[in-house]
Amino acid sequence: MSNATYETDTDPDTDGPAAVESRVGWRYTISQVKRDPTAVAGLVIVAFMTTVANIAFVDDVLFGFLGQYAFFANRGIEQFVLAETFWVNPEVDPGTNQILRPPVFMTNELYPEQPGTMAHPLGTDHRGRDVLVRLFYGTRIAITVGIVSTGIALVVGTVVGAVAGYYGGWVDDALMRASETLYAIPFLVLVIAFMTAFGRDLTFAMVGVGIATIPSFARLIRSRVLSVREEDYVEAARSAGVRDRNVIFRHVVPNSFAPVLVQATLQVGVNILIIAGLSFLGYGAQPPTASWGQMLNNSKEYMLPNPWFSIWPGIAILVTVVGFNLIGDGLRDALDPRINN
């Protein structure tokens, strides 16, 4: 593009929009991410996990819900109908199966002479349930908790931080001091206290972790809003009579959002890890629902006879968290204009 200083009405020095490489917008960001092989690896992992989680959601939650109605139940729709058709029910003790089987081609202390078979490719757990199918259905929990808890923190944190940064003064002081108070309480203690007060199930785990991570988002967006609110286009919007609410959420926040988006992607991975940890401690998805943290918890008693039982959920958590972190790193690079070449 030439930066000609002469221009006339009929010959502007810019071409049509198509000729200019846009440096904003989703399409550009995605094209930048695509050039980064590690980010693509992250995308592939997360896409795979999300697909698995969606199938698990349909089979578990949606069919479970529809199965309550005779109309659907009569047509064979019930919870885990897919799992039972293609594999086995992840939540019911089969009773007949051998427990703590090793994975296919492997042996363990309990079965030194009997390698695992394709019937249970990753072996069985302490109740004889198939580990692979439980991992598969545990994905739903992991992805849901990661995204929902981050979503809560993202939405509330953005509102709090943007309002605090935009108005400044006592509003800022009140909101930021409140969020620092939240920050001062050790994270796990806060979440466990919250769940002890309200209930031990997964919903409160997500809400609790979400609330506990609000301050990091609030601070991040506030720091951006402080500089963005001084921009002329914000003043222009104000001078045109735009409401404060719209100035904040239409003009200020979209221009402050890039670092928050990166933070959110990274936070999803962190939250999956935290909630797996909570499940391990017994705060989270309650049996018989399959979740990775709970599988780890169950497996700790059988570490010596069948170490595989511990390894698989560990690998699942690792891969998912790494996937989200890779995307986060890729996004950070794509959204940082200084790194763009």
| Binding positions for another protein, rule: CB under 8 A | 3-7, 9-14, 16-17, 20, 22-25, 168-169, 231-233, 235-243, 250-251, 254-255
Nearer to another protein, 10 or 341 (CB): 10
Q: How far apart are CA 80 and CA 66, in angstroms?
A: 12
Q: Which is nearer to another protein, 75 or 250 (CB)?
A: 250
**DSSP run (H or E) holding 113:** none
Q: Would you say 110 or 242 has its CB closer to another protein? A: 242
Whether the CB-CB separation of 128 and 187 falls below 8 Å is answered with no
For residue 13, the minimal CB distance to another protein (Å) is 5
The DSSP secondary-structure symbol of 272 reads: H
The one-letter amino acid code at 164 reads: A
Q: Between 252 and 327, whose beta carbon lies closer to another protein? A: 252
Q: How many helices (H) and strands (E) does the chain have?
A: 15, 0
| Residue 3 vs 341, nearer CB to another protein | 3
Looking at beta carbons only, is 65 or 233 nearer to another protein?
Answer: 233
Tokens encoding 232 = 């002329």
DSSP 127: T
Rounded-to-integer distance, Cα 115 and Cα 106, Å: 5
Q: To 10 degrees, the CA torsion angle through 56, 57, 62, 63?
A: 10
Single-letter amino acid, residue 309 = F
Residue 226 CB, nearest approach to another protein (Å):
13
Give least dist CB 249 to another protein, A.
12
Least Cβ distance, residue 235 to another protein (angstroms) = 7
* Residue 132 CB, nearest approach to another protein (Å): 45
Quote the least distance from Cβ 259 to another protein, whole Å.
15
Q: Which is nearer to another protein, 21 or 113 (CB)?
A: 21
Two structure tokens written together for 173: 């002081």
- Other CB atoms within 10 A of residue 164 CB: 25
Tell me the closest approach of the beta carbon of residue 227 to another protein, in angstroms: 12
Q: Is 80 exposed, middle or buried (0-12, 13-18, 19+ CB in 10 A)?
A: buried
Please identify, using beta-carbon distances, which residue of 242 and 311 lies nearer to another protein: 242
Q: Is the link from the previous residue into 288 a cis peptide, with omega within 30 of 0?
A: yes
Shortest distance in whole angstroms from residue 334 CB to another protein: 16
Residue 119 burial class via C-beta count within 10 angstroms: exposed 0-12, middle 13-18, buried 19 and up: exposed
DSSP per-residue string spanning 42-80: HHHHHHHHHHHHHHHHIIIIIHHHHTTSHHHHTTT--TT
